[in-house]
Amino acid sequence: GNSVTQMEGPVTLSEEAFLTINCTYTATGYPSLFWYVQYPGEGLQLLLKATKADDKGSNKGFEATYRKETTSFHLEKGSVQVSDSAVYFCALSSSNTGNQFYFGTGTSLTVIP
């Protein structure tokens, strides 16, 4: 079946620190992979995505590379800001399952000045 496992939180970092949030997946077929971000009191917003192996998604300084050999899609940012404080969700979608989404449990990030 399809599932996503992501790094447990919460994560607390100082401003300008390097961020990695791990995400691994199990899927049938060839899924698309996503990172969504949820700011306090809001719905989820797409942060970046990758639709095939070795693709790199990037947005707002965040990056993630679709690694088929390790079934991973780790989120990274070189220098976090206070405004990056949010909950981050890894997700996959596969045409084999009618494009339904499977979400990880979310990782809470707090960046302190």
Partner 1 sequence: IAGITQAPTSQILAAGRRMTLRCTQDMRHNAMYWYRQDLGLGLRLIHYSNTAGTTGKGEVPDGYSVSRANTDDFPLTLASAVPSQTSVYFCASSGGTSINEQFFGPGTRLTVL
Q: Which residues would be at the binding site for partner 1 (CB under 8 A)?
A: 32, 34, 36, 42-46, 49, 51, 89, 93, 98-101, 103-106
> Shortest approach of partner 1 to residue 4 CB, angstroms?
8
The two three-digit tokens of residue 90, written as one number: 């890894």
The two three-digit tokens of residue 27, written as one number: 């899927």
Q: Which is nearer to partner 1, 12 or 100 (CB)?
A: 100
The CB density around residue 59, as the number of other CB atoms within 10 Å, is 13
> Shortest approach of partner 1 to residue 35 CB, angstroms?
12
Q: Which is nearer to partner 1, 79 or 100 (CB)?
A: 100
Contact 108, 10 (CB under 8 A): yes
Question: To 5 degrees, how large is the angle CA 29–CA 97–CA 25?
Answer: 55
Q: Which is nearer to partner 1, 10 or 78 (CB)?
A: 10
> Shortest approach of partner 1 to residue 89 CB, angstroms?
7
3 state SS of 83? helix
